[in-house]
Every structure is written in C-alpha cells, then in structure tokens.
Structure 1
Amino acid sequence: MFRIKDAKVSLKFYQDILGMELIHESPGGDFTNYFLAFPEEGKEHLSEEEKAARKFQREGVLELCHNWGTESDPDFKGYANGNEEPGRGFGHIAISVDDVEAECKRLDSLGVRFKKRPEEGRMRHIAFIYDPDNYWIEIVPSGGKKGEKGM
C-alpha cells in the first residue's frame, strides 16, 4: 500500500499516465483506500457483476491510502517513500512494458519525473520514475506480447 497526499492527483497519475483502472474504492473513518490494476486482457466480455466478484483475484493490484485533509494541509510534508531516511526499507514497485524505451519517451512527453532513464547507469534495459508522492516505479521489459502492460 502507498500512502498518498492527494487522491485526485495520484488517481490521475495511475489511471491517465500509467493506464490502470480503479477497481474498488473503500472509504473508512477518515481515509479512503483505492485499489487499481491494469485492464485484464480477454476479460472485456465479463459483466460488471462478474468483474466485481473477481476484482481481488487479479494480478498486480495496487492499493493507495488517502488520509482525508492531507491534500489541503500546507504543513504536510508527505510520507516516507522507503528509499531515504527516515523510513528506509521499502524500495519500489515495478511495471512491465513491451518496449521500455518507447514507454519512457511517452512518459517523458507527459512530464513524468525520472529517477533513472534506460541510458543511465549500468542497467540499460530498465528505468525508474517517480509517482506524485515520490514513490519509485521501475519500468522493466515484459518479454510478452506486443502492447502488454502489467505489474
């Protein structure tokens, strides 16, 4: 689970930039959990009821937790992303794409911030981007069918 500052900003990033879909929203006392996943290939024919019944049986479901009010709190500095002190430990998530270089060009054209581009460093076949809350997302080659995306 990623703790997020602003649900609107994060949902826009994961849906509009990365292509995930919101599969479930669960409001609690003073927070909301959002569950996202990439569209399932070959499942377009399922009814909404069938999709709802299997929403947590999918691969690569990402949970975002938004504590209400953080989006408008000028003193809120964000959460630890796990890659720096304090709170070092968690590293990142990864998504697989058919063509890392093409995906990086697309992400670059959309203004996504990069931690590492494919041409940087020793590992030339991967990239890292930041989400709106500075969590790292690794972009790796899928080795799968053309056009596939997944977690």
Structure 2
Amino acid sequence: MSFQTEMHPGVTADVPVATRGFVFNHSMLRVKDPAVSLDFYSRVLGMRVLRKLDFPEMKFSLYFLARPDEQEAVPEEEGARTSWTFSQRGILELTHNWGTEQDPDFRYHDGNAQPQGFGHICFSVPDLAAAVRWFDENKVDFVKRPEQGKMKDVAFIKDPDGYWIEIVQPSLLAGLGR
C-alpha cells in the first residue's frame, strides 16, 4: 500500500472522491515593484516567468513563476501555456497592483510582523552551504542563517518586499522534529 497521510485529530482518513484530481497550483504574493521582484526571483532563485496576465480594467498584473525541468515541454502558444500553467504544481504568483512602485512609502504586510498571519514560502536546494554563499554574493537579507537558532540546517531569507523564504536541503532534514 502506498503512503496516504499521517493521522492526526481532524485529518480525514479517506480522500473524498469528489476531490480526486485536485492539484495545489499556486500561492500568491503581492509585490510593490515587479521589476525588482522579478529580478530577485529569476536571478537569485532561478525561477522563470511562465505567464504574465494584465487586467487593465482593474489595474493589476499577475506573473506566474516556476522552476520547470529543463527538458519539460512548456507550450509556446499563449492560451495553451496559460492552461498548462494552471495545471502545474508549485507555482508562485506575484500580483502587482499598478502604481505601488511609484509610492516610496508603500509597503505590504509580510505576515511575520504583528499581527502575524502568513509565514513564508520555501525552496529546497541541493547544497545549503552553496546556496548561502550565493545569497551572500547577491547581498540577500537573511532572517536566519543555518547555524543560528535552535533549528539548524534551515535558513530564512527575505525577498524585496520582506516576505520570508525558507531555504532547506532535504538530505539534512531526516531527523527534523524527532
């Protein structure tokens, strides 16, 4: 039998038939300046923009980013690529409300200041030490370095809007929480 779920209070043992085929597609972050955020996510974290959608009547744009496998066939035609994007897993949507980049005092709540809510997104990397060196070379702000605090081998960095990004090396985490 293949793994189904860990059981805890509140967890349903059986997957409801009506939810078969449901896929967690994306999480959305609002960004002040898309050029600054797109530079960070594409240059520092290696993500690619799969699709940009503009909504002029509502004055906002959506940027869908991911790390597709290099050999993965991503459709070129925009409609097909839009459909394909919404069928994937692990997409990051950056939402830009037009004009925020012009306001020097504008800032989104990062979820970690009081009152807390949203916490972070997470990237797994093949080599945590190499990733930390890369982030240092690119002057990325750290919330927590891997050697700091009680939870070792886990780093937290900040994106240009102050959102926290957890950085983990999966092979270092087998004993986490034990």
TM-score, reference length from structure 1? 0.85
Deviations 1:35-69 (A, max 9, x none): 100122431x5552497142222221001111111
Distance in 2, Cα, partners of 1:105 & 1:123:
19
Report the counterpart of residue 48 of structure 1 in structure 2. Answer: 76
Assess, with a 3 A threshold, how the Cα gap between structure 1 residues 119 and 35 changes in structure 2: closer, same or farther.
same
Distance in 2, Cα, partners of 1:12 & 1:68:
18
Report the counterpart of residue 93 of structure 2 in structure 1. Answer: 63
- Deviating 4+ runs (over 4 angstroms): none
Indicate conservation of the 8 Å contact 2:49/2:63, yes or no.
yes
Identity fraction in percent = 51
Larger radius of gyration: 2
Could you list the runs of 5+ residues in structure 1 that have no partner in the other structure? Answer: 144-151
Report the counterpart of residue 75 of structure 1 in structure 2. Answer: 105
Deviation at 1:124, TM superposition (A): 1.4
Report the counterpart of residue 148 of structure 1 in structure 2. Answer: none
- Taking the TM superposition and a 5 Å limit, the aligned residue runs for 1:5-20 are 5-20=32-47
- What is the aligned length? 140
Could you list the runs of 5+ residues in structure 2 that have no partner in the other structure? Answer: 1-27, 172-178
Report the counterpart of residue 158 of structure 2 in structure 1. Answer: 130
Higher relative contact order (CA 8 A, sep 6+): 1
Assess, with a 3 A threshold, how the Cα gap between structure 1 residues 49 and 132 changes in structure 2: closer, same or farther.
same
Distance in 2, Cα, partners of 1:116 & 1:79:
21
Deviation at 1:98, TM superposition (A): 0.6
TM-score, reference length from structure 2? 0.73
Assess, with a 3 A threshold, how the Cα gap between structure 1 residues 66 and 47 changes in structure 2: closer, same or farther.
closer
Report the counterpart of residue 107 of structure 1 in structure 2. Answer: 135
Q: CA RMSD in A?
A: 1.7
- Matching residue within 17, 34, 42 for 2:63: 34
Distance in 2, Cα, partners of 1:32 & 1:21:
16
Assess, with a 3 A threshold, how the Cα gap between structure 1 residues 46 and 81 changes in structure 2: closer, same or farther.
closer
Q: Secondary structure at the match of 1:137?
A: strand
Distance in 2, Cα, partners of 1:41 & 1:142:
21
Distance in 2, Cα, partners of 1:59 & 1:97:
17
